[in-house]
Amino acid sequence: MKRHLNTSYRLVWNHITGTLVVASELARSRGKRAGVAVALSLAAVTSVPALAADKVVQAGETVNDGTLTNHDNQIVLGTANGMTISTGLEYGPDNEANTGGQWIQNGGIANNTTVTGGGLQRVNAGGSVSDTVISAGGGQSLQGQAVNTTLNGGEQWVHEGGIATGTVINEKGWQAIKSGAVATDTVVNTGAEGGPDAENGDTGQTVYGDAVRTTINKNGRQIVAAEGTANTTVVYAGGDQTVHGHALDTTLNGGYQYVHNGGTASGTVVNSDGWQIVKNGGV
């Protein structure tokens, strides 16, 4: 499933079919413009009859448990609890052939969701989710709010306007924070398995927007891109922070901080066994 940052998803009105349809926008990935693609799907969510594979949770309605497979869509305007999502990424990220998955719309809520390999949870602006667990091959595309997401090899893409709070990134998981997005209170337990300062960039946390109060544990890595800012980061032994943008008030409790050309680090505190390396062109 690596490594694509980023498709954001929204619903747009199709005047031909008289329904709302899925639009995917391929967004910036590692500073490169991926272009824009709009794909019309079969996800009708208006008052017209939905297709057999579409499930709409209306405002004020609560649905408990259930599984989405084989390109099923669940459109959540109310509350969905305990869903398992195994569809939406069967053809790989950023592929227009993908349909299905869970859509959390403005005012919609999803709790205790499990996203398995090939599954996708889309949280649009005004939607909110909590306690989502994402396994390898699964993903969460976030333009709304997500609280307490656990990435067990899965991925979380936080788009402009999105807010991710309390994400835990375990082995092979990846959180990508785009420009205009915010991640707070993240715990990073992966990304540095390849050794100090290895520019893998496809696991751990990659910051193009803002990351606040991040904890980086052993084997954890935070990469702050040129346009990104990391504030109040704590790095423990075996973890590291790679800075191409701005790092403010980092504490190295045995961890490493690498400040690259063009990067700036302000207010770093280096405690016992910590190490700050400022490379040529870094400040």
CB distance 31 to 53 below 8 Å: no
Q: Which amino acid is at 224?
A: V
Residues 6 or more apart from 54 whose CB is under 8 A from it?
42, 43, 44, 45, 72, 73, 74, 75
CB distance 181 to 161 below 8 Å: yes
Q: Residue 133 maps to which CATH number? A: 2.160.20.20
pLDDT of residue 104: 97
Given pLDDT bands bounded at 50, 70 and 90, which one contains residue 98?
confident
Given pLDDT bands bounded at 50, 70 and 90, which one contains residue 23?
low
Asked if residue 28 is part of any domain, the answer here is: no
Asked if residue 174 is part of any domain, the answer here is: yes
Asked if residue 97 is part of any domain, the answer here is: yes
Residues 6 or more apart from 268 whose CB is under 8 A from it?
247, 249, 250, 251, 252, 257, 276
Asked if residue 33 is part of any domain, the answer here is: no
Asked if residue 218 is part of any domain, the answer here is: yes
Query: Has residue 126 got a pLDDT over 60?
Result: yes
- Report how many domains make up the chain: 1
89: helix, strand or coil? coil
Asked if residue 14 is part of any domain, the answer here is: no
pLDDT of residue 195: 73
What's the mean pLDDT when you consider all of the chain? 84
Residues 246-264, mean pLDDT to the nearest whole number: 97
Asked if residue 9 is part of any domain, the answer here is: no
Pick from 219, 152, 151: nearest CA to 191 = 219
pLDDT of residue 99: 85
- Which residues constitute the domain of residue 94? 59-278
